[in-house]
Amino acid sequence: MKRVTRNIEWMAESRRCARCGAVFAPKREHARFCSARCRVAWNRENWNQANRNREQWGTENWEQGRAGGQRSEASALGWAIIAMRDTTERLGKVGARDRPQAFAVIGEAVWWVTIVDATLVRYHPDTYDRVLAGLPAAQRQLTESTFAGLRFVRNRMGYYADHADFIQPRRSDDGDHDAPITAWTWKVLPPPPVESLPPRGQEWELSRHQAYEDRLAGHTVGETFDRAAAFLTLASLAVNGATDATEGADEFSASGRNPGQQPPRGGSGP
């Protein structure tokens, strides 16, 4: 039986290629094509169709159409990046005493971070892979596991588990008041029930849970979003053709910490 979580579907055993229709076993959650050849061909065909559609407009729209058509995909990604950054920056502004609002902002941040990640994986997989491969091995593994853990949260938070089941609020170091929500930590959680999923879906969901336990549980919310947003900014700059994609990648920080800095497990950091 197939379940739907917002626009995210549980993985089936196989799916059909969006271009040739061949049945294939997806290796990624958002895979649409059976091969790189089909992906490249589909992108080329749809780009050509977009160009033809633009030239059917009146001449008064041609200049705007050419510029808009060329930037449409990048603009969609850009808006998603803006929404992600706006939401994650709110993590440092929402009062910790307003628990329902704090939990809601954390859930929204999870949603937008995974949306941007899915957009990059789906529409810019080569650039995404290239930027990921350019990271040091340990950082690459940390980044991949962080996103896998966030997908686990996205699939379950608010649907199969309450926000409070995932998040552990903390008191300040002096114990006089609540710590900022960026210093709250992810709770340790038991493996989810996966009996209703096909074998491949079970494997993916359990691997996401393991990534959650390894990279999120016991760590701070701020640390997690710092790391995720830094990589997504890096990848989006590469999509936009930045000569030095590292510029601006470290500008964002929900917690005020360098995204590459890892505090002790369960600590709130500086």
Tens-digit pLDDT profile for residues 212-253: 999 999 999 999 999 999 999 999 999 887 534 444 444 445
Of the candidates 260, 270, 236, 218, the residue with the CA atom closest to the CA atom of residue 75: 236
* pLDDT tens digits along 95-142: 888 888 899 999 999 999 999 999 899 889 999 999 999 999 999 999
Written as one letter, the residue type at 18 is: A
E strand or H helix at 86: helix 62-89
Read off the pLDDT band of 92 (50, 70, 90): confident
For 162, phi then psi, to 5°, come to -80, 160
pLDDT for the residue 143: 97
pTM: 0.68
Whether 254 has a pLDDT exceeding 90, the answer reads: no
* Cβ neighbours of residue 48 closer than 8 Å, sequence gap 6 or more: none
Element holding 213 (H helix, E strand): helix 199-215
User: Given this model, what pLDDT does residue 73 score?
Assistant: 59
Which residue type does 207 have? S
* Average pLDDT of the residues in 263-270: 44
- The phi, psi pair for 92, rounded to 5°, reads -90, 0
Side-chain half-sphere of 243: how many Cα atoms within 13 Å? 0
* Confidence category of residue 177, pLDDT binned at 50, 70, 90: confident
Q: Assess contact for 219 and 186: CB atoms under 8 A.
A: yes
257 versus 216: which is more confidently predicted? Answer: 216
13, 199 Cβ separation under 8 angstroms: yes
> Residue 264: its pLDDT value, please?
45
Say yes or no to pLDDT of 6 above 60: no
What CA–CA distance (Å, rounded) separates 83 from 228? 14
Pick 92 or 53 by higher pLDDT. Answer: 92
Is pLDDT of 7 > 70? no
Asked if 8 and 117 touch (Cβ cutoff 8 Å), the reply is no
- 15-69 per-position pLDDT tens digit: 788 888 888 887 666 667 788 677 667 666 664 444 444 344 333 333 443 344 4
What's the DSSP call for residue 189?
A: -
